[in-house]
Each structure stands twice: as C-alpha cells, then as structure tokens.
Amino acid sequence: MQQEISDTEMPAAETLHRSRSAERVLALLDAVVTSGELSLSAAAARTDIPASTALRHLRVLTDRGYLIKDGSGSYSVGPSFVRTALASLQSGPYARLRSAALPELERLVEATEESAYLAVRDGNTAVYIATVEGRRAIRHVGWVGRSVPVEGTAVGAALLAAPMAPGSRPEPTFNTGAIEPDVSAVCAPIHGVGGPVAALSVLGPADRLAGTRLQTAANAVIEAAFATAGALSSVEAFSA
C-alpha cells in the first residue's frame, strides 16, 4: 500500500515547486476570468509567466474544465469554473449577502431607473457579484463578475470606509469616469460589525446621473445599504 506523504515530510524544494505552480495556475485562471478571453501570449504576458510554463498550466485548467479553448487559440471560462462560481453564490456568506441585497437592488432600480450593483472586496479590487439592470433603453450593464480597482473608484472608497456606530447610516461615495468614460457611480457601504462587508452602487450615464437625479440616487443608495446591513444582521443572528 502506498503511503501518503504530508507537506511537512516533503522536501523543501518540492514543496516550494508545488506552491509556485499553484500560484501560477491561480494567476492564469484569474487573468482569464477577469479579462473574459485571453490568448496564450496575452495570458503569459499578463501574469509574467514564461509562455511554455503558461501553456502547461493552461492545459491542466482546460483538461479539468475550468477553461475552454476556442478554434483561434483563445482561452475563456469553462463549465467547471461556472459550476464552482454558482455553488459559491448559492450557499455560504455570499448567498446570504445576495439574498439580503437583491430586494434593495430592485428598490434602487425603481427609485433611480438606473442599473444597481452589489460588490465585495477582494484585496486591492472590488468584484461585482449581483445586479439588477436599469429600466432605460440606454443603461449600464455587464459588470457582474468583473473586478475593478479599489483605488480611485467610488465602490472602492465605499468598501474602504471606516467602521461606524451601530444604527448609523453610511456616507455615499461618488465618481465619474474612473473605469468607463462618461459613466457616473454613486455607492454606499454595507456595514458589518467590523466595517464594510460589501457595497451597493448605482451606475448610469454621466449626463443623466447628475444634479437632482444624482442626489436622489445617493439618498436611495444610502437607505438601501442601511436596509441590507439590517437584513444581513438579522440573518446572521438567526443563523447563529
């Protein structure tokens, strides 16, 4: 019978090699997911990994179904990744967060007619994990699953907000053109015990989301974030 060797018993060089390989696999997967589609050369350049090494890791990800490769040689998200991502949104903390936020996203769209988003922080980026599209013919769409920098964005400022006293309403954050030209965002943090756990955003064309409409959106986002925090707190208390 073959004996399993633990990481502590493995030679240091082999442990380091496996760790580095895992980091490269994850870096390549993240690069493709974030970009939507990448060629081998683009993925290698984006992750600063030699093309021959990147090809080996991309083959593993493709064989396991986490990526797919089309006829032109470009890689994109595969069914295994989609299944994993959906499972993470159907159970656990993100499922509770989405369940608490979705009614408020609907109310934000009713109040503003613009698209509303839910985002969480991932290190130096913010990741959009849910949306309800606006009612206008020209509206902002397509950011679910997308990562944007925390630095210099309205959603980033909301996610980096300082903790506040229980029962207080959050402060809104604003930005125009940080990620896409002529797109304005108004956001507010969803506070937990130790600070923001997520943020709600309303995004729309800058020429439309301005003046009194911008203030209306700000007021709506504040109330939506406050209500979501209360609903999330109730769910967590019940679960505990």
- pLDDT of 11 > 60? The answer is no
Both 202 and 130 in a single domain? yes
State the total domains in the chain.
2
Question: What proportion of the chain, given as a percentage, has pLDDT over 90?
Answer: 67
User: Looking at the structure, do residues 125 and 59 belong to the same domain, yes or no?
Assistant: no
The token pair at 199 is 């943020």
- For the domain that residue 107 is a member of, what is the CATH number? 3.30.450.40
pLDDT of residue 182: 92
Q: How far apart are CA 118 and CA 122, in angstroms?
A: 13
- Specify the pLDDT at position 16: 57
Same domain, residue pair 61 and 104: no
Residues 78, 104, single domain; the answer is no
Q: In this structure, what CATH number is given to the domain that contains residue 45?
A: 1.10.10.10
- Bridge partners (DSSP) of residue 190 are 198
Containing domain of residue 125, as a range?
91-239
- The pLDDT tens digits of the residues spanning 73-99 come to 999 999 988 888 777 767 777 888 999
Q: Do 48 and 167 sit in the same domain of this protein?
A: no
The C-alpha atoms of residue 59 and residue 65 are separated, in whole angstroms, by 10
Instruction: Tokens for 19, please give them.
Output: 């760790």
**pLDDT at res. 2:** 44
Cα gap 81→61, rounded to integer Å: 10
Are 145 and 233 part of one and the same domain? yes
Structural domain includes residue 148: yes
> Is 150 within a domain?
yes
Are residue 215 and residue 149 in the same domain, yes or no? yes
Q: What is the pLDDT of residues 141-166, one digit of tens each?
A: 878 888 899 999 999 999 999 999 98
Same domain, 39 and 77: yes
Q: What's this model's pTM, rounded to 2 decimal places? A: 0.74
Residue 2 forms part of a structural domain: no
